A = this chain, B = another copy of it.
Amino acid sequence: MIHTSFSGRLVMLGFGSIGQGVLPLLLRHIAIPRENISIVTAEARGQEVAAEYGIGFTVEAVTRDNLRDVLIPRLRRGDFLLNLSVDVSSVELMKLCQELDVLYLDTVVEPWAGGYTDPALTPSQRSNYAMREEAIALREAAKGGPTSITAHGANPGLVSHFVKQALLDIARDTGTIIAPPPASDRAGWASIAQSLGVKVIHIAERDTQVADRPKKPGEFVNTWSVDGFVGEGCQPAELGWGTHEKALPPDGHRHGFGCDAAIYLMRPGASTRVRTWTPLEGPFHGFLITHNESISLADYYTVRDAAGNAVYRPTAHYAYHPCDDAVLSVHELAGKNWQMQPEKRLMTDEIVRGMDELGVLLMGHAKGAYWYGSRLTIEEARKLVPHNNATSLQVTVAVLAGVVWAIENPRRGVVESDEIDHDRALEICRPYLGEVVGVYSDWTPLQDRGALFPEDVDASDPWQFKNIRVG
């Protein structure tokens, strides 16, 4: 089904697992002449996929120095820059697109190469909080300008739409009568979350995909970008910081600038475990990897009083169980004090089974906990779209939805996922998400605690971050 048509040129920057996976979706659902699409990427990887679809392919790594030289000749007013690269500054690309009047979408606010782990920067400066602040600082100037969607993949991205759907489901199931406001009505949505009493939002993900070959020592294995995951895993653990939280964690810090919706811990997210739950896995330990949505969700769902003080905000963060081989890769990386393994492997054809169970877990409301999300198996992902695994398809279909929405809404300036109409996005994504389910649970992070050893918990409120964190 064709969702929309596009007569401009579309430049894809980066052509790794996400770029390769989204190309067949773009061609299937957007009426665009093939010759209008071109790829600029840092390496030959994916060249045969580009050739399969007859898409122009240029190997050229974009740097601070050549950014304008490489991109300006390829982009003019009304074109689209789809950024699916690593190591190229999203903010610089967004600025350029505003200047050239070009539509833009990325799936993460990416710094220049090395920006995630530059020891010359403070942890706060290396945080997603700081990177998001830089991106949304462009909002004012971009008003009425070309739509520039920041951080819209699966998560960040799709999960913002899951949160809205979950809120509407909980409202329905608790007999709370509400009229869903438009996505642009931030305050309206925030007051819904507040009235439902949502205290914590996890992006609760369990990736069970496994391969026909074991991970080798010295090899980092993942179901999506190894560089991307290692980069974010080495950033400080970050979380949107809810108004119900009684005390900052001992290693928790506020940034002292910007929206103040989030805090960071003085340690890498890849060494920080949290308790969470999904319907199929049950309780598990995920990693508190920093993500853009931890901050954007917390900011979007903040209710302030007349004086501007936050009176309601949920705690929001990622609780990620990557594929088993990635858990091992992280363990090995931590053992080497975050010095990257010599080899990397992005699992594709060698995956033999498993699924990505990716959703949002809303906690603390009248019905306890509610998970809403996608269960996509590797088999189904392969059947649905070539060049995808279960993880990438949840991302690439969200990229498709974002691109369609940007084409349909071309003058919105800088837009975050929460500001995109969730109904339209979910309509586009749903056929590609496998089973989409909402499940209530009486799970809390206090369940089965302290049986063998006394544990320092806050029994008076299960939803304190202190209870969720693995000590």
Contact = CB atoms under 8 A, between A and B. Distances in A.
Contact of A337 (B211, B267, B337, B449): B449
A119 interface: yes
Interface in A226-241: 234, 236
Contacts of A453: 123, 236, 266-268
Interface stretch (A15-23, A168-176, A324-332, A424-432): A324-332
Nearest to A447: B337
A283 B337 contact: yes
A69 interface: no
A251 to B, nearest CB: 9
Interface string A173-192: 00000000000000000000
Given A324-B214, A328-B327, A336 B284 contact: yes
Nearest to A337: B448
Contacts of A267: 453
A441 interface: no
Contacts of A281: 217
B285 A331 contact: yes
A312 B92 CA distance: 61
A137 B163 CA distance: 61
Interface in A426-457: 447-449, 451-454
A411 interface: no
A338 interface: yes
Interface residues of A, number: 43
Contacts of A266: 453-454
Contact of A324 (B126, B215, B339, B447): B215
Contacts of A208: 217
A55 interface: no
Contact of A339 (B271, B339, B448): B448
A117 interface: yes
Given A214-B324, A327-B328, A331-B327, A338 B452 contact: yes
A334 interface: yes
Interface in A401-433: none
A451 B268 CA distance: 11
Contact of A284 (B234, B275, B282, B332): B332
A73 interface: no
A82 interface: no
A335 interface: yes
A30 to B, nearest CB: 37
A210 interface: yes
Contacts of A123: 452-453
Contact of A211 (B117, B214, B335, B447): B214
Interface string A261-294: 0000011100100010000011111000000000
A335 B284 CA distance: 4
Contacts of A234: 452
A55 to B, nearest CB: 35
Contacts of A449: 337
12 contacts: A117-B452, A123-B452, A126-B452, A268-B452, A283-B335, A283-B337, A285-B334, A324-B328, A334-B470, A337-B449, A337-B451, A338-B452
Nearest 4 A/B pairs, CB to CB: A284-B335, A210-B214, A337-B448, A285-B335
Given A327-B327, A339-B448, 13 more contacts: A119-B451, A123-B453, A210-B214, A214-B352, A234-B452, A236-B453, A266-B454, A268-B453, A284-B335, A285-B331, A327-B328, A334-B470, A336-B448
